[in-house]
Chains A and B, each alone.
Chain A
Amino acid sequence: MDMLLGVVVMLVKMAVVLGVALGLAAYMILLERKLLGRFQVRYGPNRVGYFGLLQPLADGLKMLLKEDIIPDGVDRRIFLVAPAVVAGTALAAFAVVPFGDGLTLFGHRVPQVVVDSNVGLLLVLALSSLAVYGLALGAWTSDNKYSLLGGIRGAAQMISYELALGLSLVPVVMHARSLSLSDIVAAQAGLPFALLEPVAFVIFIIGSLAETKRVPFDLPEAENELQAGFHTEYSGMRFALFFVGEYVNMVLLGAVTAIFFLGGWHGPFLPPIVWLALKVLAVPVFLIWTRASLPRLRYDQLMALGWKVLIPLALLNILVTGALLAAGV
Chain B
Amino acid sequence: MPPTAEFTPLLAPFSPWEPGALPLVVFGAIVLVVMAVILFLSGFLVRRRPTPSKQQPYECGIRPTGPARFRYPVPFFLMAVFFLLFDVETAYIISYAVAWPELGLPGYLRLAVFVIVLGLGLVYAWRKGGLDWDEEEGL
Contact = CB atoms under 8 A, between A and B. Distances in A.
Interface of A: 2-3, 6-7, 9-11, 13-14, 17-18, 64-73, 80-81, 83-84, 87-88, 91-92, 95, 108, 110-111, 113-117, 122, 140, 142-149, 152-153, 155-156, 159-160, 162-163, 166-167, 169-171, 173-174, 177-179, 227, 232-233, 236-238, 241, 299-300, 303-304, 307-308, 311-312, 315, 318-319, 322-323, 325-327
In this complex, the member of B30, B58, B116 whose beta carbon has the largest number of chain A beta carbons within 10 angstroms is B58
A138 B83 CA distance: 21
A170 B95 CA distance: 9
B24 A148 contact: no
B94 interface: yes
Contacts of B34: 18, 88, 91
B11 interface: no
Given A177-B100, A237-B41, 8 more contacts: A13-B23, A14-B30, A113-B19, A114-B23, A178-B98, A236-B42, A238-B42, A241-B35
Contacts of A6: 15-17
Given A92-B31, A153-B139, A146 B70 contact: no
A65 to B, nearest CB: 6
Query: How big is the B interface, by class?
Result: 35 or more
Nearest to B52: A72
Interface string B108-133: 10011001101100100010000111
Contacts of B56: 71-72
B88 to A, nearest CB: 11
Given A170-B93, A173-B98, A299-B139, A66 B69 contact: no
A178 B20 CA distance: 16
Contacts, number: 226
B38 interface: yes
A57 B59 CA distance: 31
A293 B17 CA distance: 47
B112 to A, nearest CB: 6
B33 to A, nearest CB: 10
Contact of A307 (B22, B31, B72, B131): B131
A163 B19 contact: no
B49 interface: yes
Question: A interface, by DSSP: helix, strand, loop or mixed?
Answer: helix
Contact of A68 (B27, B48, B100): B48
Given A113-B19, A179-B98, A236-B42, A311 B86 contact: yes
5 contacts: A6-B16, A7-B16, A142-B57, A174-B100, A299-B139
B93 A115 contact: no
A148 B68 contact: yes
A91 B31 contact: yes
Contact of B24 (A13, A95, A178, A300): A95
Nearest to A327: B105
Contacts of A148: 68-70, 72
Nearest to B93: A170
B48 A67 contact: yes
Nearest to B72: A152
A69 B72 contact: no
Contact of A143 (B31, B49, B69, B90): B69
A308 B82 CA distance: 13
A163 B87 contact: yes
